[in-house]
Amino acid sequence: MNASGSPVPVERGPVEVLLSIQKVEKQFAGRPVLCGISLDVASGEFLTILGESGSGKTTLLRLIAGFEHLDSGEIRMAGERLDQIPAHRREVNTVFQSYAIFPHLSVFENVAYGLRAKSVARAEIPPRVTQALAMVKMSEFSQSAPSRLSGGQQQRVALARALVNRPRVLLLDEPLSALDANLRRQMQVELKSLQREVGITFIFVTHDQEEAMALSDRVALLRAGRLEQVAEPREIYGQPATAYAAQFIGQTNLLRAEVRDGIANAGPMAWPSAGPSGAATFSLRPEAIRLSSAPQGARPAGGTAHFHGRVQNQTFGGAMDLVEIDCGNSHILRARIPSPGPLVGQQEFEFAASDAVRVREGGGS
Amino acid sequence: MYSRAYKSAVTIPPLLWVTVFLLIPYAILFCYSFWTVAPLQVIVHNWNLHNYAQLFRNSLYLTVLLRSIRIAGAVTLLALLLGYPLAYYLSFHAAKRKDLLYQLVIIPLWASYLVRGYAWKTILGSDGVLNGFLQYLHITHRPVEFFLYSPFAVILTLTHIYTPFTFLPIYASLEHVPRNLVEASHDLGASPFSTFVRVILPLSLPGILAGATFAFVLTLGDFLAPLLVGGPSGIMISNIVVSLFGAAYNWPLGAAISLCMLLLVVSLLFATERLEKRFTI
Amino acid sequence: MSGALQSSRAPLLTTYALLVYAFLYFPIVVLVVYSFNGSGVGGFPPSGWTFDWYRQLFADASLWDAVLNSFIVAAVAVAISLGLGLPAALALDRAQFPGKALFRRLVLLPLILPGIITGLSLLMLFVGVGMKLSLVTVTLGHGTALISVATTEIFAGLQKMDRAQEEASLDLGANHWKTFWRITFPNLKVSLIAAALLIFTLSLDEIAVTFFLIGRDNTLPLEIWSRLRRGITPEINAISTLILLFSISTILIWYRLRTRTQHAGESPAEAAMLPSSLEGEHS
């Protein structure tokens, strides 16, 4: 499990691990949902748990919130066991996917709920609620009934209701999934700046890789209950650890190659590769492939691989065209090439050897 | 997510109550059915199958039981014949008046049982409304006696009482028939009739089963309508139980009959539950 | 599309439906009309409009005693069945325990089981432990039989409730007890009121179980029943009309509550399904 507990990026300086998940296992009716999850979350970090539905991401969130009990392993917050504390005594709050706004309470009372539950001094409640509502730009709706609010507004109330308690960790369970595309982008921006403003650790669950890329300091990619890779968005895109990670995040070409004497061979292509010899899989992003001006049949030199292939299909895509290249032997590569004009027949292509990233195949570990 | 204490707090009180007031009484019923009554009306706790043997030996019980089943069957059939078309009409043809028409079925459903039974007594009696009407029109000159105090009167009254019961589940299942299936059937060239037979009817079978079970079981256990409008020829099995627990004072035999009814009802419920599951998509 | 489908005319079916309505309402109309009939029950056409029967009714002390008894029994039966039906519904919804399937069946059995069996077996229990038959035994009987109604009604309410609301409450720091009172209970309020109305009405009308458990004091239906055996009088038409008015108005309130809480897209029949399945106590 190379991915687990991977170090928090250096440029963030010395960081304190706030939440530590160690070897967490969870089954539902004998079916494993989470298998040996280990993950450290730094204080003030925006971490996204990314995965398809059924990958166990919501279960992991519910374990942190305390709605489920783990089978084995442990979760610690600031060094102390969290998993044995009941949900209502954890310094963790959740923004629910369905928002779960209490329909029988006003917006104000919804936000005040947590403060009242924890017996915060009476006089302190109104200013804190007001401040929280202002933070999410919902001040004017303070006395409204929840049923009068739009989905986006309910979302904001849910956020204020959680943040007003000043939790150490805020959990967000696909909070944007019910919003339409425009509102969703706007909320992403606001969410990110809100997180910087309050400095609270956010753990955000989503199945949308673009959202994960846009928001997070780090992304934890979950697949069938196992962590596939934990890394910064740029790293997970540029250096995917596994074939799954490469395919799930962005588009990619997977090249099944044979590595011998530091050279990788896949069909008509060959490029230098430092890794061990034998069969290997490489991920090559479509935008890494360029039209080449070098002479035909050039061999790997200066870290650039050249190949030729027949353009099978070309789809206009504005700034970039999507080009399908048939390299023979049923090798089809997809390339994204900036405005090449119509391409016909055999063409020469190239890519930098460093863009072909060696990835692991198969399951998560 | 719920603590152990929470779960115990909600489970134990109802569990205890149900044990004391339902489970133990059924167990007592079970025990009684194997005991006997000695002279001087003392109940003897000697375990035997005497009561059950008597049920099969004495033709009276079998006759009445068969009559009860026949009456219950007739009521079920009539309630379906009245309830299904009504439900179908409401679900597919009532359009905007649906809600109002639905409430109009609910109202007689909740109108007191006794009130409705009594109403039929006043209608069917020898100096009742129907006889008065017939004489008023000079169709008959003397009161017709057989309206009241006959199996016919029992069937009529109970059909009136249980038709709304049968209607409700049928209506619910018809409302659940996806309208695009009906449209698809028309689109594929099926006539309204064959759409009904091949799409709507099969999809509403669970409702029919539930409605039929209601009508049958409730009629079978009824003893008030026979007393009210049935007369001696309209006696049903529950009336025998009532008299065994009353004037005849033979609780063990009454318990044996009740237990047979209980078994019949429970196995019927079990069977329809299985069938409903098979027909539900 | 469906509009076109629904407006398609079916004169035969419409006529048939009208006839069924006529059949359903005919006895009720007759009953009400003859409660104002000067020449007593029966006879045609009704003649002589009168309020005499109602006047007699209001002067009838023993009838009003029975009404009072019925109201007391019904009120306590509501308390018992809600008090146990609420935890039973919560248990069915969210606890796992051995024998849960049996428990569910046992609680719900009185819904469909003919009242005579419930009545008889309770009679044997009370006689067995030497309890004198009285309004107390009647109340216990009603309460027990009607737990089934309370349970199904409240269970339906629980099923409609968004479970995340309770999780949100715990998440915000309220414990289970506070969560129950501040979130679960307000969410169930309408279901509880609807169930209470329904149980009250059913208890007022109950005969089969009462028949076996009654002592010296009569409930209203049994008082009427004992008078019916002596012969019919328009006074009974009059009280029946009043009972009818009472149950219609409670049922209309109940129906309003029920439809107000139902989710969009759910048919009123669905909303009404559960309680209607409970009328087993009537026969």
- pLDDT at res. A124: 94
Residues A337-353, buried b or exposed e (16+ Cβ, 10 A)? Answer: beeeeebeeebbbbbeb
pLDDT of C262 higher than 70:
no
pLDDT of A108 higher than 90:
yes
pLDDT of A153 higher than 80:
yes
For the four alpha carbons of A243, A246, A251 and A255, in that order, the dihedral sign comes to negative
B3: closest CA of chain A, how far (Å): 9
Interface test with C, best of A69, A85, A94 (most C CBs within 10 A): A94
| C114 → closest Cβ in B26, B120, B221 | B221
pLDDT of C280 higher than 60:
no
C92-118: average pLDDT: 87
Answer whether C232 sits within 8 Å of B125, measured CB to CB. Answer: yes
- pLDDT at res. C81: 96
| Spatial separation of the C-alpha atoms in residues A160 and A131, rounded to whole Å | 9
Answer whether A88 sits within 8 Å of C183, measured CB to CB. Answer: no
Which of 49-78 (C) contact B at CB < 8 A?
none
Domain residue limits at C207: 62-282
Q: Percent of chain A having pLDDT more than 90?
A: 54
* Residue A88 touches chain B, beta carbons under 8 Å: no
* Residue A173 touches chain B, beta carbons under 8 Å: no
Torsion from C-alpha of C224, C228, C229, C232, nearest 10 degrees: 150
- Contact list, B3 vs chain A (CB under 8 Å): 86
Token pair, residue A236, equals 């997970």
| Spatial separation of the C-alpha atoms in residues A299 and A289, rounded to whole Å | 16
- Contact list, A117 vs chain C (CB under 8 Å): 169, 172-175, 178
- Contact list, B5 vs chain A (CB under 8 Å): none
For the four alpha carbons of A188, A193, A194 and A196, in that order, the dihedral sign comes to positive
- pLDDT at res. C271: 40
Q: Which residue of A has its CA nearest to C181?
A: A117
B65: closest CA of chain A, how far (Å): 48
Interface test with A, best of B1, B4, B6 (most A CBs within 10 A): B1
Looking at domain B52-279, its CATH class is: mainly alpha
From C146, C144, C159, C145, select the one nearest C191 (Cα to Cα): C159
List domains and CATH numbers for chain A.
10-241 (3.40.50.300), 251-293+300-359 (2.40.50.140)
From C231, C204, C201, C35, select the one nearest B228 (Cα to Cα): C231
Let me know: does A314 contact A321? Beta carbons within 8 Å.
yes
Q: Which residue of C has its CA nearest to B265?
A: C113
φ, ψ for residue A323, nearest 5 deg? -120, 130
Torsion from C-alpha of B66, B67, B73, B75, nearest 10 degrees: -160
Let me know: does C254 contact C197? Beta carbons within 8 Å.
yes
Answer whether A67 sits within 8 Å of B1, measured CB to CB. Answer: yes
Q: What are the tens digits of pLDDT across the range B182-207?
A: 888 888 878 888 888 888 998 899 89
pLDDT tier for residue B103 given thresholds of 50, 70 and 90: confident
* Residue A12 touches chain C, beta carbons under 8 Å: no
Q: What are the tens digits of pLDDT across the range A29-61?
A: 889 999 999 999 999 999 999 999 989 999 999
Let me know: does A222 contact A50? Beta carbons within 8 Å.
yes
- Contact list, B6 vs chain A (CB under 8 Å): none
| Spatial separation of the C-alpha atoms in residues B146 and B157, rounded to whole Å | 14
Between chain A and chain C, how many beta carbons pairs sit less than 8 Å apart? 66
Q: What are the tens digits of pLDDT across the range C50-86?
A: 888 888 888 888 889 999 999 999 999 999 999 999 9
φ, ψ for residue B114, nearest 5 deg? -60, -40
* Residue A28 touches chain B, beta carbons under 8 Å: no
In a domain, C32, yes or no: no
Specify the number of domains making up chain C.
1
pLDDT of C270 higher than 50:
no
In a domain, C219, yes or no: yes
Q: Which residue of A has its CA nearest to C175?
A: A88
A86-90: long-range contacts (C-beta < 8 A, 24 or more apart)?
A86/B3, A86/C170, A86/C175, A87/B1, A87/C167, A87/C170, A87/C171, A88/A117, A88/C169, A88/C170, A88/C171, A88/C172, A88/C173, A88/C174, A88/C175, A88/C176, A88/C179, A89/C173, A90/A65, A90/A66
The CATH number given to whatever domain includes residue C249 is: 1.10.3720.10
pLDDT tier for residue A103 given thresholds of 50, 70 and 90: confident
In a domain, C11, yes or no: no
- Whether the bond between C45 and the residue before it is cis, its omega within 30 degrees of 0, is yes
A126: closest CA of chain C, how far (Å): 17
pLDDT of A298 higher than 60:
no
Amino acid at A65: A
Q: Which residue of C has its CA nearest to A94?
A: C171
Answer whether C168 sits within 8 Å of A67, measured CB to CB. Answer: no
| Spatial separation of the C-alpha atoms in residues A92 and C173, rounded to whole Å | 9
pLDDT tier for residue B85 given thresholds of 50, 70 and 90: very high
| Spatial separation of the C-alpha atoms in residues B114 and B215, rounded to whole Å | 17
In a domain, C9, yes or no: no
Percent composition of chain C: helix, strand, coil (DSSP 3-state, to 5): 80, 0, 20
Let me know: does A163 contact A170? Beta carbons within 8 Å.
yes
